């Protein structure tokens, strides 16, 4: 197939390119060329800007499009409108954040979508991100009815993750010593290895599947404390875990959300089950999950290729972690 990928230079996009090339597809990338321009010298690269300069796409035809970088409905509609008569199939990478009510476990693709009071808002914040994705999905479906595949991942993890939201844990635990971890330790975790998501996405495109699919894992529920133990085992670390009360951490300016992606404040009732969504539909469509140990190992191997002085974008700084432990022990004497 001839596949156009909007983006393709960063995290999920680059893994989709890898997966598509491995399956023998002919790839064209469209992006600004500002990030990782040296990647994929063997593929065609078209330069432009989705917000105002789509001229490089005009007059071309592809079998399918995979949109990895659509966040603003107006911009997504510009792309879909231009390409509607030039492609047979359009895949949009959305998010499980589209759901407005994740207060109960098991939300499937029929969950209530988020809304915006002002649908013309384009600023992307924690509050607008999900509803904007909803509007992007609507734009894709309106422009390509019956030809749109909407993939809704949860936390995407693995090599080349720019957020460090998952990478922090294998990295920190591999360092050893006393690790601050938030209670409750039985927090459900959901995440998907970027390579599993990429390979499945390409197969779904090949099959010209349409409709919405939640896409996160792992296959079996994984409590936070089990993930921590896997990180310790894989890294052969001597780390010990200090399970501190989540509310206490928040009150001491260490909101668990700042270093533990899966921690949801108990009073945030609309999202308390955000990491227990139903992905049965995607599994029935062939989504599979590699062992968590493999994801942790690959993440660590990639992380170790980064400069020694690199500072993680997510997680507790060492001095702050030590300070929290001292404060906790002072207020909770044995």
Interval 316-327: pLDDT, tens: 999 999 999 999
Maximum Cα interatomic distance, the chain, rounded to a whole number of Å: 72
Written in H, E and C, the secondary structure of 59-98 is: CCCEEEEEECCCCCHHHHHHHHHHHCCCEEEEEEECCHHH
Q: Residue with structure tokens 């108990």?
A: 266
pLDDT of residue 334 exceeding 80:
no
Q: Are 184 and 247 in contact (CB under 8 A)?
A: no
Q: What is the mean pLDDT of the segment spanning 226-232?
A: 98
Give the mean model confidence (pLDDT) for residues 231-247.
97
CATH class of the domain comprising 168-190+220-273+291-331: alpha beta
* Stretch(es) of the chain classified as CATH 3.40.50.720: 2-156+192-217
- Position 267 pLDDT exceeds 90: no
User: Can you give the pLDDT at residue 58?
Assistant: 94
Neighbours of 49 (CB within 10 A): 14
In the chain, CATH 3.90.25 sits at 168-190+220-273+291-331
Burial class of residue 53, CB neighbours in 10 A (0-12, 13-18, 19+): exposed
**Residue 265 binned pLDDT confidence (cut-offs 50, 70, 90):** confident
Q: Report the SS3 class of residue 100.
A: coil
> Residue 266 pLDDT more than 80?
no
Of 306, 314, 331, the C-alpha closest to 172 is 314
* pTM for this model (two decimals): 0.96
Q: What is the DSSP letter of 101?
A: -
Q: Say what the pLDDT of residue 108 is.
A: 97
Pick from 8, 1, 15: nearest CA to 290: 15
CB 303 within 8 A of CB 173: no
- In Å, how far are 13, 23, 66, 97, 203 from 101, measured between CA atoms? 28, 38, 28, 10, 30
CA distance 208 to 85: 16
In which band, very low, low, confident or very high, does the pLDDT at 221 lie, cut at 50, 70 and 90? Answer: confident
Segment 128-139 mean pLDDT: 98
Homologous superfamily in CATH for domain 2-156+192-217 = NAD(P)-binding Rossmann-like Domain (3.40.50.720)
| 170-194 mean pLDDT | 97
The reported pLDDT for the residue numbered 144 is: 97
Q: What is the mean pLDDT of the segment spanning 301-307?
A: 97
Which of the four pLDDT bands, split at 50, 70 and 90, describes residue 87? very high
User: Helices H, strands E: what count in the chain?
Assistant: 10, 12
Q: What is the pLDDT of residue 220?
A: 83
Question: What residues have CB less than 8 Å from 98, skipping those under 6 apart?
Answer: 111, 113, 114, 130, 131, 133, 134, 137, 152
Average pLDDT, the chain: 96
Tell me the angle at which helices 168-175 and 292-303 cross, rounded to the nearest 10 degrees.
80
**Distance (Å, whole) CA 56 – CA 222:** 45
């Amino acid at each position: 197939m001839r596949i156009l990928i909007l983006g393709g230079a960063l995290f999920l996009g680059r893994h989709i390119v890898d997966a598509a090339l491995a399956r023998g597809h002919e790839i064209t990338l469209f992006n600004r060329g500002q990030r990782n321009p040296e990647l994929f010298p063997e593929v065609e690269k078209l330069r432009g800007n989705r917000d105002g300069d789509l001229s490089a796409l005009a007059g071309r035809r592809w079998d399918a499009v995979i949109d990895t970088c659509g966040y603003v409905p107006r911009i997504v509609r510009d792309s879909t409108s231009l390409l509607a008569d030039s492609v047979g199939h359009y895949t949009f990478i959305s998010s499980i954040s589209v759901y407005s009510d994740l207060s109960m476990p098991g939300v499937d693709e029929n969950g209530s979508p988020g809304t915006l009071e002002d649908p013309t808002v384009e600023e992307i914040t924690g509050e607008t991100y999900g509803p904007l994705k909803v509007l992007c999905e609507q734009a894709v479906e309106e422009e390509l009815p019956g030809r749109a595949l909407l993939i809704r991942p949860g936390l995407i993890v693995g090599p080349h993750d720019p957020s460090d939201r998952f990478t922090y844990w294998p990295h920190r635990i591999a360092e050893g010593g006393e690790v601050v971890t938030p209670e409750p330790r039985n927090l459900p975790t959901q995440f998907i290895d970027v390579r599993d998501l990429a390979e499945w996405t390409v197969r779904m495109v090949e099959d010209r599947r349409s409709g919405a699919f939640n896409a996160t894992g792992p296959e079996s529920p994984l409590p936070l404390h089990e993930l921590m133990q896997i990180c310790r085992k894989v890294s052969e670390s001597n780390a010990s875990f200090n399970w501190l009360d989540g509310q206490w951490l928040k009150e001491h300016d260490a909101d668990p959300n700042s270093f533990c992606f899966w921690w949801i404040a108990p009073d945030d009732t609309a999202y308390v089950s955000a990491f227990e969504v139903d992905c049965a539909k995607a599994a029935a469509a062939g989504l599979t999950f590699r062992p968590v140990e493999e994801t942790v190992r690959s993440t660590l191997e990639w992380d170790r290729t980064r400069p020694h002085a690199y500072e993680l974008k997510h997680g507790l700084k060492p001095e702050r972690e030590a300070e929290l432990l001292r404060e906790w022990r002072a207020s909770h004497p044995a």
